[in-house]
Amino acid sequence: MSEFPRRRFLQASSGMLTALGVSGLPAAVLGSSSQLSIAPFRIDVTTPNGHGCCGGWIKPIEAVDDAQEAIGFVLLGAGKPIVVCAVDWTGILNQTHVKWRTAMAEAAGTTPDRAAVQCVHQHNAPFACLDAQRLVAEQGDLPNIMLPDFFEQCLDRLRSAISAAILRAVPVTHIGQGKGRVSEVAANRRIHQGPDGKILGMRGSACTDPALRAMTEGLIDPWLRTIAFYSGEKKVVCCHYYATHPMSYYGDGRASSDFPGLARKQRQQDEPATTHLYFTGCAGNVAAGKYNDGTKGMRAILARRVYDGIVAADGDLKREPVDTAEWRTADILPTPRGTLNASQLAAAIANKQNAVVGRNRPAFELAWLQRVEAKIPIVLSCLQINDISMLHLPAESFVEYQLRAQELATGRFVATAAYGDGGPWYIPVKEAYPQGGYEVSVAFSEPEIDDDLTAGIRKIV
């Protein structure tokens, strides 16, 4: 981690962490709806040919099925500007997440702590970590993780799009909330357990095992939630939230926004005057494997099911005047897994006998260790408008955190976007660690991250 982004980040953030590892920033409160305006933006971030996907250990891009986008909005009038963005990439991590938020903040005339970027988490896309990229580039023989030139091109487009959007900002007079049930998409991945509670097998994004597919859905959040911003009678921005891994199939070298992106694009065609965003909720342990066998025809079927949920949620929208708006944040700095050793990880990256995944993945782990050593916190954030909460969480958080946020914010409509700062990779709940399984094996933090994240959620919702 270079000193420049670290210093800038810390100046813009809340400063020192408390002894609990959580700190809040002062909230800006809106007193009158006449102060609020919104400026939607979008840019193309389609992965170029030859670029690595999902960390570099699946086939690089060689063709494009459909465009990948970064879509967002700037909210003006609730204190300093607020920027929120959803990106059709696997993840944005560590220094790279700071740089993206800093670019949005500079273009909008605000500070990085008032900017949130969440990934949708498609796998035929970049897993953007410039720290890990530097580590693998030093080896000279490993697939790229994130090409710095492409990343800078995306930031240039981002700054230009935000600057132009602000000039076209329109007043926000009303806010709407609605829910639509999504059928036969999401199911828990960790349903196959032995008598001792240990995970015996995973039902992933796609599954062909009839026994696993026959098992119950398990713990999910079946609701797609929608929040809409209105200018008078005009619906200007619609944000849709649903918790499931967003892959029908992947690893074929074809860039795509996959089934959630196709659902979003269909709704965009329905309502071209409204900017539609899609956020993946806390889907660290939720995927489509119960209902998806991975055949190519399933992409359109899953997209239609999510689209139907979007339409249902839009139809359920309850519109009301904007009375209050505020932005809340909390910083956390989780403790890395005690099994992560910097010198051992460096040796694994350099070991040419290891498979690519056995060298690139340690680069992500080492990047996480270095980031924590530099005391760069993860910023949780929440946009509160009236009794609506738009919650932004990091990495591959388990669905329990999303459900927990709803319980903590009794009486509020809570829509949760995960896959923000992806530095810690998976974020299981503490009860999952003794159960083992894939997700726990690639969780970069100790079980106490549950306490840290829950405390942060409690503070901001």
What digits encode the pLDDT tens for the residues 74-120? 999 999 999 999 999 999 999 999 999 999 999 999 999 999 999 99
pLDDT tier, 388 (very low <50, low <70, confident <90, very high otherwise) = very high
Give the residue numbers spanning the domain of 374. 3-460
Q: What is the pLDDT of residue 35?
A: 87
pLDDT in tens, 173-217: 999 999 999 999 999 999 999 999 999 999 999 999 999 999 999
Encoded tokens for 22: 């959580």
H-type alpha helices, 75-120? 94-108
- Dist. CA 371–CA 1, nearest whole Å: 7
Beta-strand relationship, 23-24 and 170-171: unpaired
Q: How many domains does the chain have?
A: 1
Average pLDDT over residues 263-270: 98
Q: What is the pLDDT of residue 101?
A: 98
Helix (H, G, I), strand (E, B) or coil at 293: coil
Percent of the chain with pLDDT over 90: 92
Name every residue whose Cβ is closer than 8 Å to that of residue 310 and which is 6 or more positions away in sequence: 180, 224, 226, 240, 263, 264, 267, 276
- Dist. CA 103–CA 59, nearest whole Å: 30
